[in-house]
């Protein structure tokens, strides 16, 4: 597999073409942004942790029957993935109130939900990724009902699986954001990443935040949190 020209540079990753049109290489950066790019910084070693962690979860999810874009880890920052067209949706699952949920609804951070919640945001930086509902998704033709049904089913299954897996490492899965894509043959697959950039992880005993909220909220020891998550998962 030959790495060709860069196709796209995002906030936390670069995407390269390969000599196979159905395969891309993602490269994880240490760059971090928050509040739609308003806050910028570097989290040293983040790219390595996110690449490894995301690939670990995607491999486990594949085994559990969830199709993903993951193909092969190429290096400590690079992974071969299936080329997909991304649904312009952020799919957010929450087990505990935090972040925008707490802010929007005035619900105290840490309030545990009886059942997980699921919400969609329209992936559009210019608009600040606004909340969107199912009928809006159909009106804008961002996905069709059969695709959205699969996305919903996968999102809840991923939540159950990740929650249980993380619990064994002493981590509480508070919430997370997923992105899905469609391969050339129309298969809906989990794409993007699952990492401390895209999830809220709290230490199950102390409640210590072990994710990007340390960067967003200037809590200090940001690098340490990413390394601690790697230690919990990989020893
Ligand atoms: P929120 O509470 O800010 O809406 O975030 C919900 C989850 O989504 C949280 O785990 C962090 C993740 N997230 C992203 O992955 N990217 C984003 O741009 C934002 C705002 C949140
Ligand atoms: N990735 C987001 C941004 O800068 C921020 C976040 O994750 O909170 O747009």
Comparing CA positions, the residue from 163, 148, 230 lying closest to residue 196 is: 230
Point out the ligand 1 atom lying closest to the alpha carbon of residue 197.
15
pLDDT the model gives residue 1: 84
**Ligand 1 centre from 3 Cα, in Å?**
30
Q: Whose CA is nearest to atom 8 of ligand 2?
A: 34
Is the CB of residue 17 below 6 angstroms from any atom belonging to ligand 2?
Answer: no
Query: What residue ranges of the chain have pLDDT lower than 70?
Result: none
- The residues, ordered by sequence, that sit 6+ positions from 3 with a Cβ below 8 Å of its Cβ are 16, 18, 25, 78
Helix (H) / strand (E) containing 141: none
What are the start-end ranges of the E strands in 147-193? 171-182, 188-191
Ligand 2 centroid from CA 20, angstroms: 31
pTM (2 d.p.): 0.98
Domain boundaries, the chain: 3-82, 85-221
d(CA 61, CA 198): 16
Tell me, yes or no, if the two domains 3-82 and 85-221 fold the same way: no
Q: Does residue 37 have its Cβ closer than 6 Å to ligand 2?
A: yes
CATH class name, domain 3-82: alpha beta
Q: Which of 10, 32, 35 to mutate to test the pocket of ligand 2 (most atoms within 8 A of CB)?
A: 35
Closest C-alpha residue for ligand 2 atom 9 = 36
CATH of 85-221, one of 3.20.20.80, 3.30.470.20, 3.90.220.20, 3.90.1300.10: 3.30.470.20
* Any atom of ligand 2 within 6 Å of the Cβ of 34: yes
Q: Which ligand is nearest to the CA of 216?
A: 2
Q: Which ligand is nearest to the CA of 10?
A: 2
- With contact defined as beta carbons under 8 Å apart, do 57 and 194 qualify? yes
């Amino acid at each position: 597999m030959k790495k060709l020209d860069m196709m796209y540079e995002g906030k936390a990753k670069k995407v390269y073409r390969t000599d196979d049109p159905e395969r891309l290489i993602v490269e994880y950066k240490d760059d971090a942004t928050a509040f739609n790019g308003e806050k910028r910084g570097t989290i040293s070693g983040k790219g390595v942790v996110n690449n490894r962690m995301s690939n670990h979860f995607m491999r486990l999810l594949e085994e559990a029957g969830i199709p993903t874009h993951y193909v092969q880890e190429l290096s400590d920052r690079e992974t071969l993935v299936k080329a997909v067209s991304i649904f312009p949706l952020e799919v957010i699952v929450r087990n505990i109130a935090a972040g925008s949920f707490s802010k929007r609804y005035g619900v105290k951070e840490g309030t545990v939900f009886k059942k997980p919640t699921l919400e969609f945001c329209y992936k559009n930086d210019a608009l600040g990724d606004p909340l969107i509902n199912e009928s809006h998704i159909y009106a804008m033709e961002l996905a069709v009902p059969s695709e959205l049904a699969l996305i919903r089913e996968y999102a809840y299954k991923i939540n159950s699986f990740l929650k249980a897996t993380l619990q064994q490492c002493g981590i509480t899965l508070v919430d997370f954001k997923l992105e899905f894509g469609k391969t050339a043959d129309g298969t809906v697959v989990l794409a993007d990443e699952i990492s401390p950039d895209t999830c809220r992880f709290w230490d199950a005993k102390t409640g210590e935040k072990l994710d990007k909220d340390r960067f967003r909220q200037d809590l200090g020891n940001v690098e340490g949190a990413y390394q601690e998550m790697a230690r919990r998962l990989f020893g």
